[in-house]
Protein backbone atom coordinates (compact mmCIF):
# COMPACT_ATOMS: atom_id res chain seq x y z
CA UNK A 1 0.00 0.00 0.00
CA UNK A 2 1.47 3.37 -0.97
CA UNK A 3 1.62 6.42 1.28
CA UNK A 4 -1.37 8.14 -0.33
CA UNK A 5 -3.53 5.04 0.04
CA UNK A 6 -2.47 4.65 3.65
CA UNK A 7 -3.29 8.31 4.39
CA UNK A 8 -6.66 8.00 2.65
CA UNK A 9 -7.62 4.89 4.61
CA UNK A 10 -6.64 6.66 7.84
CA UNK A 11 -8.85 9.59 6.79
CA UNK A 12 -11.76 7.25 6.08
CA UNK A 13 -11.23 5.75 9.56
CA UNK A 14 -11.75 9.21 11.07
CA UNK A 15 -8.23 10.59 11.27
CA UNK A 16 -8.35 14.06 9.66
CA UNK A 17 -4.56 14.24 9.49
CA UNK A 18 -4.71 11.69 6.63
CA UNK A 19 -6.37 14.13 4.21
CA UNK A 20 -3.87 16.85 5.18
CA UNK A 21 -1.02 14.50 4.26
CA UNK A 22 -2.65 13.78 0.89
CA UNK A 23 -3.05 17.48 0.14
CA UNK A 24 0.57 18.21 1.10
CA UNK A 25 1.91 15.33 -0.97
CA UNK A 26 -0.07 15.77 -4.19
CA UNK A 27 -1.25 19.41 -4.36
CA UNK A 28 1.53 21.01 -6.44
CA UNK A 29 1.78 18.24 -9.02
CA UNK A 30 -1.98 18.05 -9.39
CA UNK A 31 -2.24 21.83 -9.88
CA UNK A 32 0.30 21.75 -12.71
CA UNK A 33 -1.33 18.69 -14.28
CA UNK A 34 -4.77 20.34 -14.24
CA UNK A 35 -3.30 23.59 -15.53
CA UNK A 36 -2.64 21.66 -18.74
CA UNK A 37 -6.41 21.46 -19.23
CA UNK A 38 -7.43 25.02 -18.40
CA UNK A 39 -4.27 27.11 -19.01
CA UNK A 40 -5.04 29.24 -15.97
CA UNK A 41 -3.14 28.51 -12.77
CA UNK A 42 -5.83 30.01 -10.54
CA UNK A 43 -8.54 27.85 -12.07
CA UNK A 44 -6.22 24.84 -11.80
CA UNK A 45 -5.81 25.61 -8.09
CA UNK A 46 -9.61 25.75 -7.72
CA UNK A 47 -9.98 22.45 -9.60
CA UNK A 48 -7.38 20.89 -7.32
CA UNK A 49 -9.37 22.07 -4.30
CA UNK A 50 -12.51 20.60 -5.90
CA UNK A 51 -10.68 17.29 -6.35
CA UNK A 52 -9.69 17.15 -2.69
CA UNK A 53 -13.19 18.30 -1.71
CA UNK A 54 -14.64 15.32 -3.60
CA UNK A 55 -12.36 13.03 -1.62
CA UNK A 56 -13.47 14.56 1.66
CA UNK A 57 -17.21 14.75 0.98
CA UNK A 58 -18.02 11.87 -1.37
CA UNK A 59 -15.33 9.58 0.06
CA UNK A 60 -15.10 7.44 -3.09
CA UNK A 61 -13.87 3.88 -2.72
CA UNK A 62 -10.23 3.36 -3.60
CA UNK A 63 -10.12 -0.17 -4.99
CA UNK A 64 -6.30 -0.34 -5.05
CA UNK A 65 -6.30 -1.62 -8.65
CA UNK A 66 -3.87 1.20 -9.40
CA UNK A 67 -1.66 3.49 -7.37
CA UNK A 68 -3.37 6.07 -5.21
CA UNK A 69 -1.68 8.81 -7.23
CA UNK A 70 -3.08 7.64 -10.58
CA UNK A 71 -6.53 7.23 -8.99
CA UNK A 72 -6.37 10.76 -7.55
CA UNK A 73 -5.16 12.21 -10.88
CA UNK A 74 -8.00 10.44 -12.68
CA UNK A 75 -10.47 12.13 -10.32
CA UNK A 76 -8.73 15.46 -10.96
CA UNK A 77 -8.86 14.88 -14.71
CA UNK A 78 -12.60 14.23 -14.50
CA UNK A 79 -13.07 17.43 -12.49
CA UNK A 80 -11.11 19.38 -15.14
CA UNK A 81 -13.00 17.80 -18.04
CA UNK A 82 -16.32 18.67 -16.36
CA UNK A 83 -15.11 22.24 -15.84
CA UNK A 84 -13.99 22.62 -19.47
CA UNK A 85 -17.27 21.16 -20.70
CA UNK A 86 -19.30 23.64 -18.66
CA UNK A 87 -17.08 26.67 -19.26
CA UNK A 88 -16.27 26.30 -22.94
CA UNK A 89 -16.94 29.94 -23.71
CA UNK A 90 -14.25 32.60 -23.95
CA UNK A 91 -13.76 34.62 -20.78
CA UNK A 92 -12.22 38.06 -21.05
CA UNK A 93 -9.62 38.92 -18.43
CA UNK A 94 -8.24 42.44 -17.96
CA UNK A 95 -4.65 42.80 -19.20
CA UNK A 96 -3.36 43.86 -15.79
CA UNK A 97 -4.66 40.59 -14.30
CA UNK A 98 -3.03 38.53 -17.04
CA UNK A 99 0.42 39.65 -15.89
CA UNK A 100 -0.40 38.67 -12.33
CA UNK A 101 -1.71 35.27 -13.43
CA UNK A 102 1.38 34.64 -15.55
CA UNK A 103 3.66 35.52 -12.63
CA UNK A 104 1.75 33.23 -10.26
CA UNK A 105 1.98 30.37 -12.74
CA UNK A 106 5.68 30.98 -13.31
CA UNK A 107 6.38 31.02 -9.55
CA UNK A 108 4.58 27.71 -9.08
CA UNK A 109 6.43 26.20 -12.05
CA UNK A 110 9.79 27.33 -10.67
CA UNK A 111 9.03 26.01 -7.23
CA UNK A 112 7.86 22.67 -8.56
CA UNK A 113 10.31 22.13 -11.39
CA UNK A 114 13.37 23.88 -9.88
CA UNK A 115 15.79 23.44 -12.74
CA UNK A 116 16.08 25.60 -15.84
CA UNK A 117 16.10 22.61 -18.20
CA UNK A 118 12.91 21.29 -16.70
CA UNK A 119 11.32 24.71 -17.10
CA UNK A 120 12.35 24.67 -20.76
CA UNK A 121 10.75 21.24 -21.15
CA UNK A 122 7.62 22.40 -19.34
CA UNK A 123 7.31 25.39 -21.68
CA UNK A 124 7.73 23.09 -24.70
CA UNK A 125 5.01 20.83 -23.29
CA UNK A 126 2.58 23.74 -23.51
CA UNK A 127 3.13 23.89 -27.27
CA UNK A 128 2.24 20.25 -28.02
CA UNK A 129 -1.19 18.63 -28.12
CA UNK A 130 -3.04 18.12 -24.82
CA UNK A 131 -2.98 14.30 -25.07
CA UNK A 132 0.77 14.35 -25.71
CA UNK A 133 1.27 16.73 -22.81
CA UNK A 134 -0.79 14.53 -20.47
CA UNK A 135 0.96 11.28 -21.32
CA UNK A 136 4.42 12.85 -20.97
CA UNK A 137 3.53 14.64 -17.74
CA UNK A 138 2.10 11.56 -16.08
CA UNK A 139 4.91 9.31 -17.27
CA UNK A 140 7.94 11.47 -16.58
CA UNK A 141 6.97 14.11 -14.02
CA UNK A 142 4.60 11.96 -11.98
CA UNK A 143 6.50 8.65 -12.48
CA UNK A 144 3.36 6.69 -13.37
CA UNK A 145 3.52 3.37 -15.17
CA UNK A 146 1.91 2.90 -18.58
CA UNK A 147 -0.94 1.02 -16.93
CA UNK A 148 -1.54 3.85 -14.45
CA UNK A 149 -1.40 6.46 -17.22
CA UNK A 150 -3.94 4.39 -19.14
CA UNK A 151 -6.33 4.47 -16.18
CA UNK A 152 -6.02 8.24 -15.87
CA UNK A 153 -6.41 8.88 -19.60
CA UNK A 154 -8.96 6.09 -20.15
CA UNK A 155 -6.87 4.34 -22.79
CA UNK A 156 -5.42 0.85 -23.11
CA UNK A 157 -1.71 0.00 -22.79
CA UNK A 158 -1.14 -0.15 -26.54
CA UNK A 159 -2.72 3.27 -27.07
CA UNK A 160 -0.55 4.70 -24.29
CA UNK A 161 2.64 3.24 -25.80
CA UNK A 162 1.79 4.70 -29.22
CA UNK A 163 0.75 8.02 -27.74
CA UNK A 164 3.93 8.18 -25.65
CA UNK A 165 6.09 7.50 -28.72
CA UNK A 166 4.39 10.23 -30.75
CA UNK A 167 4.45 12.61 -27.77
CA UNK A 168 8.22 12.14 -27.35
CA UNK A 169 8.75 12.86 -31.04
CA UNK A 170 6.60 15.99 -30.85
CA UNK A 171 8.37 17.22 -27.71
CA UNK A 172 11.76 16.55 -29.27
CA UNK A 173 10.80 18.66 -32.31
CA UNK A 174 9.70 21.52 -30.04
CA UNK A 175 12.90 21.34 -27.98
CA UNK A 176 15.07 21.29 -31.08
CA UNK A 177 13.46 24.56 -32.17
CA UNK A 178 14.84 26.05 -28.93
CA UNK A 179 18.31 24.49 -29.37
CA UNK A 180 17.82 22.33 -26.27
CA UNK A 181 21.09 20.73 -25.08
CA UNK A 182 20.38 17.06 -24.28
CA UNK A 183 23.88 16.38 -22.93
CA UNK A 184 23.42 18.58 -19.85
CA UNK A 185 20.04 17.09 -19.00
Please name each of the domains of the chain with its CATH number. 1-113 (1.10.1740.10), 115-180 (1.10.10.10)
- Could you give the CA distance from residue 93 to residue 144 in angstroms, rounded to a whole number? 35
Q: Per the confidence metrics, is the pTM higher than 0.85?
A: no
The answer to whether 100 and 111 have CB atoms below 8 angstroms apart is no
Q: Which helix (H) or strand (E) holds 150?
A: helix 146-153
Q: What are phi and psi of 63, to 5 degrees?
A: -80, -10
What is the four-CA torsion angle of 22, 27, 30, 36, rounded to 10 degrees?
170
User: Going residue by residue through the chain (185 aa), what tens digit of pLDDT does each one get?
Assistant: 578 889 999 999 999 899 999 999 999 999 989 998 888 899 999 999 999 999 999 999 888 888 899 999 999 999 999 998 888 654 545 555 556 666 666 666 666 655 566 667 778 888 999 999 999 989 988 889 999 999 999 999 999 999 999 999 999 898 888 777 655 44
Task: Compute how many other C-beta atoms are within 10 angstroms of the C-beta atom of residue 72.
Answer: 25
Which positions ≥6 away from 96 have C-beta within 8 Å? none
Amino acid sequence: MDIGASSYHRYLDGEDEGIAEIVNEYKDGLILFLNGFVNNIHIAEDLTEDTFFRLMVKKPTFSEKSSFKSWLYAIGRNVAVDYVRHHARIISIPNQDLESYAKDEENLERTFLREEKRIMIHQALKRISPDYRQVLWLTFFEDMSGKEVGKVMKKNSRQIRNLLYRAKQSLKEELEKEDFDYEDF
